[in-house]
Each structure stands twice: as structure tokens, then as C-alpha cells.
Amino acid sequence: MILDSLFLAVVLSAATGPVFFLIVQLAIERGFWEASTLAAGVWLSDIIYISLVFLGLSYVSENPDFTFYVGLIGGIILIIFGIMGFISKPSKGEKQNLGTKGYLLLFGKGMAVNVFNPFVFVFWVGVVGRTIEKGYTIPERIFYFFILLFTVALLDELKIYFADKITDKIKEKHLLWFSRVSGLILMGFGIAMLVRIF
């Protein structure tokens, strides 16, 4: 059970979805704590989705309206974030303290990217179904997801740490290109999400 949970956590962490690019880009441009705050928003949304599935709301994912409207909002959000990343001009100047409001906005951004992706909910429905199929008891399932999410969070923090550490070695022009490429990738994910729901 633990090995299965750890394996899934590694696969999840290695996946290069929109969250991966947002976290790495933010770590390079803003720093460790800013990227960690956004990642925390993602983790909380995962916990909320898993809890909803545990409460028996997995049928929601089968509703076409849920997939359409949540996917529509999520696609638009990713495109907007992508455009903002593409047109922004990151600087290697001194990093400013964002303040409480800034960190709350980053936390909300992390939640929004995950919550408004219907395929994340469908994924967790599948994982919960897998634990039921394997015959895990409720305490075992809770332990399974604790190990899974803890490992994902730990691996995310390692990615953020190393991304933050290489910032000093990146020239400003490379930072600009990375921001533009990340922006294009996020727009691509947003467009792909819209295509999937129509």
C-alpha cells in the first residue's frame, strides 16, 4: 500500500502539467516562499477534491455540465495566466516582500488553477476507486492519501528549492525567455482544456 502510494506520488510530481510550470516559473522569478504559497493552494484544493469524493460526490464528475463549466473557467484562467506570463518582463532585481495580501493572492491562484480543472477531480475519483477496488479500509485509505499528498508536497518543495537556487545563474534574457515559454505552455494547456470540453 505504501509503495503504491509513493509510486503514484512520484508519477504525479514528475508530470509536467500547468501547475508544474507555474510553480517553477514563480520560484525562479519570485523565490522559494512565493512558489511554496502557490503550491500550498494546489495541495489544499487536492485535499478538498479527495474529501468530496470520500463524501460520495464522485457522481458530480459524470455530469456534463460540471465538466463543461468548470473546464471553461479553468481553460480561461490558464490562458489569462499564460498571457500574463508571456507579456511580463521579469527582472533579476531585488525581490520585494509581497505582504499578506500578495501571499493570499498566490494561494488563491494555486487553488484556482487546480479547482477549475475538472480532470483533476476525475483523476481523484479514479484514485479513490482504486483504493476501494484494492479493499482498503477507511483508515487505510486515509493513510494512503496522507502518504501520497505528503510525498507530492515534499517533491514539490524540492523542485521549488532547486529552481530558486539556480536563479542567480540565470541571465536576465534567459529569464525573459523562460517566462515567455512558460506563458505559451500555460496558454496551450488552457486551449487544450477548452478543446476537450467542446
Contact 45, 121 (CB under 8 A): no
Q: The pTM is what? A: 0.81
Domain with 47 in it: 2-197
pLDDT band at 146 (very low <50, low <70, confident <90, very high): very high
Residue 90 pLDDT exceeds 70: no
Residue showing cell 525567455: 177
How far is it, in rounded angstroms, from Cα 185 to Cα 23?
13
Q: Mean pLDDT across the chain, nearest whole number?
A: 85
> Rounded CA gap, 50 and 128, in Å?
8
Kind and range of the H or E run holding 62: none
How many domains are contained in the chain?
Answer: 1
* Mean pLDDT, residues 95-112 taken together: 86
In the chain, which residue ranges form alpha helices assigned H by DSSP? 2-14, 18-29, 32-54, 64-87, 99-115, 118-133, 138-165, 172-197
Average of per-residue pLDDT across 5-20: 81
Cα–Cα dist 110/194, whole Å: 19
The answer to whether residue 35 scores a pLDDT higher than 90 is yes
Q: Is the pLDDT of residue 153 over 70?
A: yes
